A and B are shown apart, each in its own frame.
Chain A
């Protein structure tokens, strides 16, 4: 557990971070360090330089922005989980953040690092994809906004360019009558998602008016479950329709399900409908409460 030598650099502003990135080809950004540092210690990554973006205060904090919440990239999982705004208007995200790893991980790990790392078993990508969130990426020449569903492109790969930094994620707030939930099958060792399902459901007079669902953990990157969404939209908000719609997730998974020594692909695929069903039920129940 000894990293290879690297240069340690600190950036106090986004501009400085960009300058350091340009001057140090192959450098890695360091946020909470809870994905990068293990890679360094195991020598699975050996960048010539590490640029600590921790001091960039503009990347921290949660603020309202129109109908959305803007969550700075350096906001920790613990801060997301504890935020009253997130809990009321994006309950699924608070729930996912509260279930990441253990307290040490949640107190250091950041939302920006989590999505930039794009581990297929991460929790936050699934929620962000379900909630139609967007990622604000800042390059040397300005910023662009990438929909979460387009941000994640493969196992540990994203649409982020080498010279871009995640500045924030923007999450649409749930309105009255809308509820969201995230349920996961946690790996007993790491707590990463073996299967994760996020849902946002708008309930109108007992009917599922709008349905957004995503699954993660068992596929190369979080993805929308559109077959489920279609099947549930317009159906009564009740157990039988959740179950029937959730069963359609198999169509969304296709042949992409991964497996390992702990849980085979076949098993994970069989669990997806169960977790989608539970996420739908929990989201709909919350919709009824708001």
Chain B
């Protein structure tokens, strides 16, 4: 593989950490988000939301609101029912006895979470709309609430939907290998009950929509803060009946999503409904408090897990039962997250002969749960990494050593695991060794012992992961009930002057593909990066695509782009051979030039070719004019990034405060187009995962009231509480991807929660603490220490 280098390799734009072209407009506040657009005659919508977690609606009196100043209209579920179809769930997991219940854009007779939409006021100004909201009188008959998914699945729990007996939305199972044998023959079994607490994604920009309907043409335009405008068009068409060709969805600048902008939520449909009813543009923008109840949440698992092993630490099997809270209704992709994206990942980087998991999707009287950065995979990684640490503790072995004993050996093209997946490529040992060397593991253990002797509690936590991304082969999507495809498309168009437009179906919202995709084209064809413009986000001028989530934009969309670019290259080669009157086999390409082999001065640049193709004065027979290509790329397999993260913490034994002292992240996302952007993605991801370990939790009381309903109580990570994150990588290309890339958007989040958690438990070893519920608030840690001291 290695080539002896005689001269330094020419600097390639693929792989260079150039600055993100998105940043100047984002950092100077000139980027335009949905809320920044205003249309002539625009009215504003404010949505009345249920204050009850569960209640029957007896009556709604809108008379006073309708008479309020500036009010254009007030609508309730009775008005929209029959006009709008229920919001569809788009991931119908097969063989799971899935029970979907109608999810209405506005509730008609029953509300099922605090925040469920009940009515909407449209007024000339936003203030007037909010004033009138207070004048709507709703008579509710409260019903009992249930917020814990495990309790909601028990007999006699408050019941949400006729369609779903026992609140069970689905029961899905993954099984591979002989799990009973694994546990009967085990020397050691370790168990834990894990609560993956509910999290609130908290994108900087809350959700919002601006809808314009022109009755004369029947055309609907929707500005929407979404991760997937083409899916919005599809679903919006289904719900409203507006044909897809009359429906244009524009995702302008989108201020983060983290999964919470995948689904279409009630407010989107309500806004469109109002605009269509009134023939007037209507805008709705969530307030932050509204965002916390109306936009989807993440995680919310109760997991009972056990691992069977031999005394020398070889894993024989993993068995789990999971109750995954779905909230009051099934959100767009919700059922796929605790199943396909979670259950199938239970082998992690380890050789585990037998795996079985039962997942119950459970309706609870809470905000619907959706993807949140990592979506299912953090919940799998955490489960395994806890179990492995518990095993190490049980057999009194070093946790790193136990991991080593079970790792899948390096492989370059395919490794099947017990859950039925075939990983693409991996070198897990390599990532582990890199991380251990970087953190100085052996020294750290010595330092830890010395510190303990002085009453200081330092902990070291290791987390290894494999994740599934680059979703995915459409045939598999269909087989697992995803109600769409998972391919991507790209169009590359050269203008006569040699400048390039790239049109893509993915929809970046912070990830930086305007930069990285330009790098891909520049690298393949020798144009300057600055000569390539990447267009995305508007269904009217971009080809179909399934959106940006699941670390798929580069893994799938980037592949479509690479293939389209290579088609251009082929055409350019043909045209060069024609213009230079040489055989096409004799045309070489290097550094932006097509030339006759052996005569580098007989050459055409890609710009020459772009001009000649566009003017079309002299084309070979049968060649079409123009220099443009498109590609639809349906991946043959998923990609499987992996890595090892190590956290070092110190716990204050007096107060229970956890201080994060060091953090090393080693991620392998295959080839890196732009290492600076990779680093940025790792930073953000790691921090969000640390947030789950230490700070974030959506807490409902027994009545289903969200107690952490604002940023005063819901603690998102703050820069001053974090150490430098030392980002390293190994490179194991994906064998099936045209660029060898895998995806990096979620890796950090998938790994970091377990790394930090394991470090804290490690620090508390002298107090014999085995498990603390997340987030590891000072009080919980202090209580664990206090209990341990007493023991």
Contacts and interface: CB of A to CB of B under 8 A. Distances in A.
B711 interface: yes
B33 interface: no
Interface stretch (B124-132, B310-318, B512-520, B539-547): B124-132
B788 interface: no
Given A1-B288, A263-B779, A270-B782, A189 B707 contact: no
Contacts of B441: none
A274 interface: yes
A189 B779 contact: no
B528 interface: no
A263 B711 contact: no
B711 A2 contact: no
Given A189-B716, A274-B654, A262 B126 contact: no
Contacts of B126: 2
Nearest to B44: A2
A52 B711 CA distance: 26
Nearest to A2: B130
A189 B655 contact: no
B782 A42 contact: no
A261 B287 contact: no
Contacts of A190: 711-713
Contact of A262 (B127, B777, B782): B777
A271 B779 CA distance: 9
Interface string A261-282: 1111001001100100000000
A154 B654 CA distance: 29
Given A5-B131, A274-B654, A187 B287 contact: no
B714 interface: yes
A247 to B, nearest CB: 13
A101 to B, nearest CB: 10
Contacts of A263: 777-779
A190 B715 CA distance: 8
A188 interface: yes
Nearest to B714: A189
Interface in B281-309: 287-289
Interface in B701-750: 707-708, 711-716, 718, 721
Nearest to A275: B655
Nearest to B782: A267
Nearest to B783: A267
Contacts of B657: 185
A271 B655 contact: yes
B340 interface: no
A189 B289 contact: no
Nearest to B290: A1
Nearest to B716: A189
B699 interface: yes
Contact of B655 (A43, A185, A261, A264): A185
Interface range for B: 20 to 34
A192 B713 CA distance: 10
A42 B289 CA distance: 9
A190 B695 CA distance: 12
B707 A261 contact: yes
A187 B779 contact: no
A15 interface: no
Query: Which has the most chain B C-beta neighbours within 10 Å: A102, A192, A262?
Result: A262
A264 to B, nearest CB: 6
A96 to B, nearest CB: 17
Contacts of A192: 712
B699 A261 contact: yes
Interface in A160-188: 185, 187-188
B712 A189 contact: yes
A267 B779 CA distance: 6
A247 B46 CA distance: 53
B782 A188 contact: no
A5 B127 CA distance: 8
Contacts of A43: 134
Interface in A1-30: 1-2, 4-5
Contacts of A271: 655
B659 to A, nearest CB: 13
B131 A185 contact: no
Contacts of A1: 287-289
A187 B713 CA distance: 8
B187 to A, nearest CB: 40
Nearest to B713: A189
Contacts of B289: 1, 42
A187 B718 CA distance: 12
A279 to B, nearest CB: 14
Contacts of A270: 782
A70 to B, nearest CB: 32
Contacts of B287: 1-2
Interface string B649-660: 000001101000
Interface string B149-166: 000000000000000000
Given A262-B713, A270-B782, A2 B699 contact: no
Query: Which has the most chain B C-beta neighbours within 10 Å: A42, A264, A267?
Result: A267
A262 B714 CA distance: 10
Contacts of B708: 261
Query: Which has the most chain A C-beta neighbours within 10 Å: B46, B126, B712, B779?
Result: B779
Contacts of B699: 261
Nearest to A270: B782
Interface string B755-791: 0000000000000000000000111001100000000
Nearest to A259: B779
Nearest to B130: A2
Nearest to B126: A2
A190 B289 CA distance: 15
B778 A261 contact: no
A1 B403 CA distance: 50
Given A1-B289, A2-B127, A185 B778 contact: yes
Nearest to A42: B289
Query: Which has the most chain A C-beta neighbours within 10 Å: B127, B289, B708, B713?
Result: B713
B687 to A, nearest CB: 13
A48 to B, nearest CB: 14
Query: Which has the most chain B C-beta neighbours within 10 Å: A4, A102, A188, A262?
Result: A188
B204 to A, nearest CB: 15
14 contacts: A2-B46, A2-B126, A2-B287, A5-B131, A185-B655, A187-B715, A188-B715, A189-B711, A189-B715, A190-B711, A190-B713, A192-B712, A261-B699, A262-B777
Interface of A: 1-2, 4-5, 42-43, 102, 185, 187-190, 192, 261-264, 267, 270-271, 274
Given A187-B715, A189-B711, A261-B699, 8 more contacts: A2-B130, A188-B695, A192-B712, A262-B713, A262-B779, A267-B778, A267-B782, A270-B782
